[in-house]
Structure 1
Amino acid sequence: MEKETARIEGFSDGVFAIAITLLVLELRIPAAEANNSRQALINSLLAQWPSFLAFSLSFFSIFIMWVNHHKMFKQIYRRNSTLMFANGLILFLATCISYPTALLARYYSTPSVTVAVAVYTGLFVLINLAFNLLWGIASRNRTLLRPEISTAAIKKIRRNYQYGIPVHLSAFLLSFCWPGGALILCAGLWTYWAFTSRRLDLSTSLANRP
Structure 2
Amino acid sequence: MEKNRLEALSDGVLAIIITIMVLEFRTPETADWAGLASIYPSLLSYLLSFIYVGIYWNNHHHMIKLANDVTGGILWANLHLLFWLSLVPFMTRWMDESGFATVPVFIYGVNLLLAAIAYAILQSLFIRQQGPDGPLNAALGRNIKARISPVIYVAGCALTFASPAFGLAAYAIVAGIWLVPDRGMERALRNDGAAKKAR
Question: Which band: TM-score by shorter chain?
Answer: 0.7 to 0.9
Report deviation, 1:148.
Answer: 5.3
The SS at the match of 1:30 is coil
* Deviation sequence 1:140-184 (CA, Å, 0-9, x none): 2525x9x85275x16627544223211111111111112112112
Gaps of 5+ in 1: none
| TM-score normalised by length of structure 2 | 0.85
Report the AA paired with residue 139 of structure 1. Answer: I
SS in 1 for 2:45: helix
Note the residue ranges of structure 2 that are not aligned, 5 or more in a row: none
Return closer, same or farther for 1:174/1:199 CA change in 2, 3 Å cut-off. farther
Question: 1-side partners of 2:74 and 2:142: how far apart?
Answer: 17
How do residues 49-64 of structure 1 correspond to structure 2 at under 5 angstroms?
Answer: 49-64=40-55
User: Contact (CA 8 Å) 1:157, 1:200: kept in 2 or not?
Assistant: no
Change over 3 Å in CA distance of 1:150–1:85 after alignment to 2: closer
Deviations 1:39-97 (A, max 9, x none): xx433322222211111111111011100111111221111111000001111111110
What letter corresponds to residue 5 of structure 1 in structure 2? Answer: K
Cα distance between partner residues in 2 of 1:198 and 1:105: 35
Q: How many residues align?
A: 191
Residue 184 of structure 1 corresponds to which residue in structure 2?
Answer: 169
1:149 matched residue in structure 2: 135
What is aligned with 1:27? 25
Range that drifts further, 51-60 or 155-164:
155-164
Assess if the C-alpha contact under 8 Å between 1:100 and 1:119 holds in 2: yes
Normalised to the residue count of structure 1, the TM-score between the two structures is: 0.81
Judged with a 3 Å threshold, the aligned counterparts in structure 2 of structure 1 residues 123 and 8 are, in CA distance, closer, same or farther, namely same
CA contact (8 A) 1:114 1:175 kept: yes
Q: Distance in 2 between matches of 1:18 and 1:176?
A: 32
1:114 and 1:179 in contact (8 A); partners too = yes
**Could you tell me which amino acid in structure 2 is paired with residue 187 of structure 1?**
A
Change (3 A) 1:166 1:148: closer
Q: Give the number of the structure whose alpha-carbon radius of gyration is greater.
A: 1
